[in-house]
Amino acid sequence: MPTKLLSSAPVIHDQTILATPADIGVRLDRVVATHCPGSTRAFILDAIANDDIFVNDRVAPKGSKIRAGDRILVHALFEQADKRVKPEPDLPLVVIHRDDALLVLDKPAGMPVHPLGPGETGTLANALVAREPALADIGDDPLFPSLAHRLDTDTSGLVVAARTAEAYTFLRDAFHQHRVDKTYCALVRGSPPDTARLQHYLAHLPDQPGRMRVFRERPEQYAGPRLMQAVTEFRVRTRYRDHALLDVRIETGVTHQIRAQLAAVGCPIAGDKLYGGTPDRLDPPRQFLHAAALAFTHPTSGQTVRFTAPLPPDLEATLAQLTQ
């Protein structure tokens, strides 16, 4: 998981605000926003929730109204300028391809693609902007700079980054419009058919953050989180006694799509504890899912380009267990 390094980021520290007549009766978060214009409402609400803002030396909820004579202590608060990826040159970065328009990277398992908040480190984006600082300014989200798409933290494999604003717009649109051919390698439990095309509707589970619910058909009456259609195709590359190695193609890009859909048809990915994929006799170090190949139209040449990434050693070792 990313690491939050609050003390290492250039934040507001231990700033005292004395309530003015204009602050009386105004909510705490709004008062702090007035006196700390370099920050944002989202950062202020996070600071209040993290007990980093005090009123008269006491923790106060965000809805507190300021009274005459109140003293507000801002112990720690990010500013808008802090919403940038921290360069980390010591992080590994494997570059499969580089040209004037884009980079193709091979992300290791266990590394998030980008930070979720200011000060977080240990991600692919941290490694990327350390090598190419100009990429930090590409895109509309400073914490997700230049990157055209995402992978789960424990999924290894190919990630594409743009090196120009024009390439970024082109690539993001290509991924959003499903014009990128994405192939994954997955080891599953069970005995799937030789080929299959899976079509489901997925939605986030409100009571289980980070997990998706799968519907075989669109419910006629449904009041939960937004439903997203997911389409996945696979073919069996190799069969083992209790497992099968699949080549998987996805036409859509829904969160946990491959993991949730394969589990829904009784073939969970080996090592995927979230969706029931850890068998008794095989214990992969993580979910056996690897983004193995990408093909798309190059943003400047207009030609179709294809990139591949070999299975990493931990997954190769898992396959070796199956042949012993």
Q: What is the pLDDT along the chain (324 residues), one digit of tens a residue?
A: 333 333 344 467 789 999 999 999 999 999 999 998 888 787 888 889 889 999 999 988 878 999 999 999 998 887 766 678 999 999 999 999 999 999 999 999 999 999 988 778 999 999 999 999 999 999 988 889 999 999 999 999 999 999 999 999 999 999 999 999 999 999 999 999 999 999 999 999 888 878 999 999 888 877 777 899 999 999 999 999 989 999 999 999 899 999 999 999 999 999 998 998 666 567 778 999 999 999 999 999 999 999 999 999 999 999 998 887
Residue 229, strand partner residues: 201
Considering only CA atoms, which of 2, 243, 259, 276 is closest in space to residue 121?
2
Token pair listed for 7: 């003390």
Half-sphere exposure of 218 (CA within 13 A, CB side): 6
> Which residues are catalytic, by number?
152
Same fold flag, 3-82 and 182-322: no
Helix axes 28-35 and 41-49, enclosed angle (nearest 10): 130
Which amino acid appears at position 5 of this protein?
L
Token pair listed for 216: 């075989």
Evaluate whether 47 touches 69 at the Cβ level (below 8 Å): no
Fold of the domain built from segment(s) 182-322: Pseudouridine synthase (3.30.2350)
Q: What angle do CA 266, 272, 276 make, to 5 degrees?
A: 45
Domain extent listing, the chain: 3-82, 95-177, 182-322
Predicted TM-score (pTM) of the model is 0.79
243-250/289-297 β-pairing: unpaired
Token pair listed for 191: 């005995």
Instruction: Identify the three-state secondary structure at position 198.
Output: strand
Considering only CA atoms, which of 121, 134, 122 is closest in space to residue 161?
134
Architecture per CATH, 95-177: 2-Layer Sandwich (3.30)
Distance CA 40, CA 18 (A): 20
Token pair listed for 86: 């921290």
CATH number for the domain formed by residue range(s) 3-82: 3.10.290.10
Residue 48 φ/ψ, nearest 5 degrees:
-65, -45
Evaluate whether 101 touches 30 at the Cβ level (below 8 Å): no
CA distances from 180 to 123, 149, 189, 308 (A): 24, 11, 28, 14
Token pair listed for 194: 């030789």
Which sign, positive or negative, has the C-alpha torsion 173, 176, 181, 182?
A: positive
